[in-house]
Amino acid sequence: MEKERIIILGAGNGGQAMAAFISLAGYEVVLYDRYEEAIAPILQKGGIELSGVSGKGFARLVKVTTDLHEALSKTGLILVVLPAFAHAYVAEQIAPLLREDDRIVLSPGSTGGALEFRKIFSEHGAPKGVKVGETNTLIYACRISGPGHVKILGVKEFLGVTALPATDTQALLEPLKEIYPQTQAVENVLSTGLNNMNPIFHVFPTLMNLGWLEATKGNFRFYYEGITPSVAKLVEAVDRERMMLCQSLGISTLSGMEWQKKFYGAKGNVLPEILQSNRAYEEIQAPSSKETRLITEDVPMGLVPMAEIAKIAGVPTPFMDSAILLASEIMGQDYRTTGRNLGAMGLVGLNKEELLRRVGGSGFSEH
């Protein structure tokens, strides 16, 4: 049986790694990026050189383009591998190009990605049959190590996927599992979105080290030096709010500490010790300025949608609210307005029961 076409939107670190790996696994792969600079090295080289823990090889792609019409000229499984702040743009652009049987997986969706896609699709006339879902994380730790060369440093042992509504999940799970056998269905998009740990581990540690990173252009190790006992207290405070939100909505979750232990094999009793036993974090430097995805993605597409969903759930989130306020002031924009608020997610006016119905109830789960 011929393998289906995989269309990857986004040629950053993750998009290139997935494109190369999936192509080497025998699929027809199309790679799109909005920016010429992103794809030029690949066009020049005629493909992507893959190295690292998932194998080595030179991956030829069937198409590498900045033209969405061209990227979507034939049907296939569409994987959106972009920073969350680019989701809305891509959703608007592809809405008129989609077919009834298209399937889209945001990989990952950050928090509320699939909800935002659905909202935009309904406003921009995408076919009703299109299936939209998201994963809980990017499958790889990876980086572009040279022009047309991508290196995979690590692979997640668990990839959660779900659709909006969750009753569509099977249609996304099957093709994804064929590529990544570690894929499993999770409850619904509240599960992927509220188990997005990036805002938890990124935002307060960036804010509480703001002077240090601006004064030194990030010349310290983010996790190994920047997560001091007091910084860790705020990480735990915001994580408690996230967990209370999960509990209120019936979403299974782990605490940040448990998550570190389960997915990274980290060890210890207190958070700084646990993070500093995670060897994957050892060399990670602090961002060199406030202009970092640790703020520009994780606040508007992480804490904002969490705090907004918490309003529906009736869960107070003073620490999330404070982080959003401080980040907004520093960045000179109101993330509550520009970020993924209830309006952007199409959730205005819903109560808790309606929200749970919208995402597909808690009925669907492979577990």
Rama region for 7: left / alpha / beta (φ>0; ψ in -120 to 50; rest)? beta
Residue 69 appears among annotated catalytic residues? no
In the Cβ-directed half-sphere of 362, how many Cα atoms lie within 13 Å? 10
- Smallest distance from the beta carbon of 228 to a copy of itself, in angstroms? 4
The catalytic residue among 102, 168, 239, 298 is 298
Number of residues that bind a copy of itself (CB under 8 A): 30
Residue 101 appears among annotated catalytic residues? no
Q: How many CB atoms lie within 10 A of CB 339?
A: 27
Q: How many helices (H) and strands (E) does the chain have?
A: 17, 12
- Smallest distance from the beta carbon of 268 to a copy of itself, in angstroms? 18
- Smallest distance from the beta carbon of 149 to a copy of itself, in angstroms? 34
Judge residue 26's burial from the number of C-beta atoms within 10 Å of its C-beta, 0-12 exposed, 13-18 middle, 19 or more buried: exposed
284 binds a copy of itself (CB under 8 A): no
Q: Using CA atoms, how far apart are residues 11 and 14, in angstroms rounded to an integer?
A: 7
Do the Cβ atoms of 53 and 82 come closer than 8 Å? no
Taking CB under 8 A as the criterion, the residue among 59, 126, 208, 345 binding a copy of itself is: 208
- Pick the piece of the chain touching a copy of itself (CB under 8 A) from 83-91, 152-160, 168-176, 210-218: 210-218
228 binds a copy of itself (CB under 8 A): yes
- Smallest distance from the beta carbon of 221 to a copy of itself, in angstroms? 9
Taking CB under 8 A as the criterion, the residue among 229, 265, 314, 343 binding a copy of itself is: 229
210 binds a copy of itself (CB under 8 A): yes
Q: How many CB atoms lie within 10 A of CB 323?
A: 28
Instruction: State residue 224 phi and psi, 5-degree precision.
Output: -75, -30
266 binds a copy of itself (CB under 8 A): no
- Smallest distance from the beta carbon of 111 to a copy of itself, in angstroms? 21
Taking CB under 8 A as the criterion, the residue among 201, 281, 319, 335 binding a copy of itself is: 319
Instruction: Identify the CA nearest to 347 among candidates 358, 339, 337, 336.
Output: 358
Q: Which is nearer to a copy of itself, 12 or 226 (CB)?
A: 226
Interacting residues with a copy of itself between 332 and 351 (CB under 8 A): 332
- Residue 353's H or E segment, with its range, is helix 352-359
Strands (E), 176-308: 183-185
- Residue 155's H or E segment, with its range, is strand 149-155
- Positions marked catalytic: 202, 298
Q: Which residues bind a copy of itself (CB under 8 A)?
A: 205, 207-212, 214-215, 220, 225-231, 233-234, 237, 290, 318-319, 321-322, 325-326, 329-330, 332
